[in-house]
Amino acid sequence: MIPVEITTRHKLFRNYEGFSFFIFIFYWQGTRDKSTILNHERIHFWQQVELLFIVHWVLYAIFYLAGRIGGKNHDEAYRNIPFEREAYAFERQTGYLSERKPFAWIKMLK
């Protein structure tokens, strides 16, 4: 079933417990809250689908770089990406994806 969920032995990029890329969701086997991580990454998956993957990745990089250029540190720039803001805001709401409207991340723009 898509997205394909893949367990990893180590955290991703040194400290991330989950990562969504293309049709894959990678998550660390030691995560304490698997359902939250998977829900967070499924939100990212649908963000990528609605932006045909490539556009999502380009926008993600632009939002991140804009934050860094604007003086934010890595964590602040990362957390202020609209895609991340949506995923963090709704990662604990298990029914969110069934009600989510396309391009819901736009509401997270500042």
pLDDT tens-digit readout, 91-101: 999 999 999 99
Residue with tokens 């890329």: 21
Q: Cβ distance 75 to 52 under 8 Å? A: no
Output the pTM of the full model.
0.95
The tally of domains found in the chain comes to 1
Q: What is the mean pLDDT of the chain?
A: 96
Whether 85 has a pLDDT exceeding 80, the answer reads: yes
Rounded CA Rg of the chain: 14
Phi, psi of 24 (to 5 degrees): -115, 140
Q: Where does 1-110 show beta strands of DSSP type E?
A: 4-8, 18-21, 24-28
Residue type, 11: K
- The residue range of the domain holding 45 is 4-108
